[in-house]
Amino acid sequence: MTFKKLAILGAALAALGVTSARADITVGVSIPLTGPTSALGIPTQNEIKLWPTTIAGEKLSVIILDDATDPAVGVKNTRRLITEDKADVIVGSAATPIAAAMAEVAAEGQTVQLMLSPVNLPEGKGTWSFRLPQSTAVMAVPIIEHWKKNGVKTYGFLGYADAYGEGWLNDITLQAEKAGIKRVATERFARTDTSVTGQALKIVSANPDAVLVVASGSGAAMPHKALVERGYPKNKIYQTHGAASLDLIRVGGKDVEGSFVSSGPALVADMLPDSNPSKAIGVRFINEYEKVYGKNSANQFAAHAFDVYLILQKAVPEALKKGKPGTKEFRQGLKDALETMGRTPVSQGVLNYTATDHFGFTPDTGVLLTIVNGDWKVVPH
C-alpha cells in the first residue's frame, strides 16, 4: 500500500473516530405500563412519545421499559439501563415504591434519576434523584389551609400502606398538629386491594370533620366510594395529587362530586391567572397533548413527563461543557447543572433545585380543586 493510500485511509479512520465520538443522549425510562398503577405510566409514555428528537443539537435516544408496578422489576430495569444501555439519565418510576427502589441503583451508577413520583428518601440516599412531582409537604399546604378556613378540628387518614402513603401521613400529621387539627383515625390498604370496607367503617365510626384519602390514578376512586357508600359526606373528603386525574371523576362518578383534590397547576392551567408563571407552559402542554390524544386526555402524570424534557433542555447544554454523552463527566455535569439551574418555570410550578433540595417546588405551588358537574373547579384561596 502506497503512502498516499495510507494517508487517505488514516484520514478516513480519523473521520470515523470523530463521528463515533458523538454519542446520542440516552434517556432510560422505567414506568408502570401494566399492573395496578398503569394508569400513571401510560399517559407518561404518551407524553414521552411527543418529545422532540434532539436536545441542544444532540440526538435523543429514549428507551422505555415496563416495570409492571413491581419494585424488583424497576430495579432490574434500572441496572440494565445503566450498565447495558449506558443511559445518561434515568426517568421513573411513576409509582412511589418503585421509584424509591430505583434510587439506590441510580446512586450506585452515579446517574441522575428524574423521579415521576414524590418519594421521600432517607438522608444521603437521594443524592442522584430529583423529583418532578411536588413533595407531599408542599401539596399538603392547600389542604391544611382549607381545613383551617372551614373549621376542621379532626380528620381521618385512609391511605396506601407504602412509601407514598407514609410520606403523606408524616407530612399531613406535622402540618395538622401545627394548625391544632387532630387525627382521630388511621387506616391503610394495599394498592392491589379491591375492597376497603372494614377500613372505611372504622373511619366513618370515628366521625372526623374531614378525611384524607391517599391513593393514585383510577385506584383513588375505590376508597372514596367506600366512604360515601357508608354515609360519609362527599364534601368532607380530600384527595392528594396522586388522584388528580380525570380517572377519579370517571370511575368515581356522582360519589366524588363536591370533594376536594390537591393538584399541581398544569391540570387547570387555563383557569389560572395570567400572572401564574406556569399558566402559559401548562396551556401549551395541554394543547399539544390533547391535539394528539383527544380532549380531556391530559393529566398530571403526562405533565411531569413534559417537564422532564423542559429541565433537560436547560441542563444538557451545561452538561455538554463537562463531557460527551455516555461519559461519567457528562452524567456529573447533568447533576451539577440541575442543582444550579435556578428558578425554572415548568407546567407543574416553579422548580429551583439545589444541592440540598431535590424537590425544588415552592410552598405556594399547590392548587386545591373541587369536582363540580364532572369537571374541575379551582377553589379560591
Residue by residue, what is the 3-state secondary structure of 120-175?
CCCCCCCCCEEECCCCHHHHHHHHHHHHHHCCCCEEEEEEECCHHHHHHHHHHHHH
Give the residue from 272, 266, 363, 245 showing the smallest Cα distance to 308.
Answer: 266
Which one-letter DSSP state was computed for residue 67? -
Return the C-alpha torsion angle 288, 293, 297, 299, nearest 10: -50
Q: What is the pLDDT of residue 245?
A: 86
* Cβ atoms of 369 and 268 closer than 8 Å: yes
Given a contact cutoff of 8 angstroms between Cβ atoms, the answer to whether 351 and 266 are in contact is no
Domains (range + CATH), the chain: 3-134+296-351 (3.40.50.2300), 136-263 (3.40.50.2300)
Per-residue pLDDT tens over the stretch 168-188: 999 999 999 999 999 999 999
- pLDDT, position 246: 87
Tell me the average confidence (pLDDT) per consecutive run of 10 residues in the chain, 381 residues long: 40 40 85 94 98 96 97 98 98 95 97 95 92 95 97 98 94 98 98 95 98 93 97 98 91 97 94 93 98 94 97 98 97 98 96 96 92 94 76
**Beta-carbon contacts of residue 126 (< 8 Å; ≥ 6 apart):** 103, 107, 119, 358
What does DSSP assign to residue 357?
Answer: B
Answer whether the bond into residue 129 is a cis peptide, omega within 30°: no
Question: Which residue reads 451508577 in cell numbers?
Answer: 109
The answer to whether the CB of 334 falls within 8 A of the CB of 340 is no
- pLDDT value of position 308: 98
| 81, 63 Cβ separation under 8 angstroms | yes
Determine the pLDDT at residue 228.
Answer: 98
274's grid cell: 395570567
CA distance 123 to 113: 16
Positions of E strands within the chain:
25-31, 54-55, 58-66, 89-92, 112-115, 129-131, 154-160, 182-189, 210-214, 237-239, 260-263, 344-346, 349-351, 367-372, 375-378
H-run or E-run covering 332: helix 328-339
How far apart, in Å, are the Cα atoms of 166 and each of 98, 160, 169, 173, 366?
15, 8, 5, 10, 19
**Rounded distance, CA 354 to CA 338, Å?**
7
Match 432517607 to its residue by C-alpha cell: 122
Q: Which residues pair with 214 in a beta bridge?
A: 159
Express each pLDDT in 139-154 by its tens digit. Answer: 999 999 999 999 999 9
The label of the residue with cell 444538557 reads 316
3-class SS of residue 231: coil
How many Cβ atoms from other residues are within 10 Å of residue 165's Cβ?
25
Q: Which pLDDT value is given to residue 217? A: 85
Distance CA 164, CA 117 (A): 8
Confidence at residue 17, expressed as pLDDT on a 0 to 100 scale = 40
262's grid cell: 390537591
Taking the C-alpha atoms of residue 304 and residue 43, their distance in angstroms, rounded to an integer, is 10
Position 11 scores a pLDDT of 42
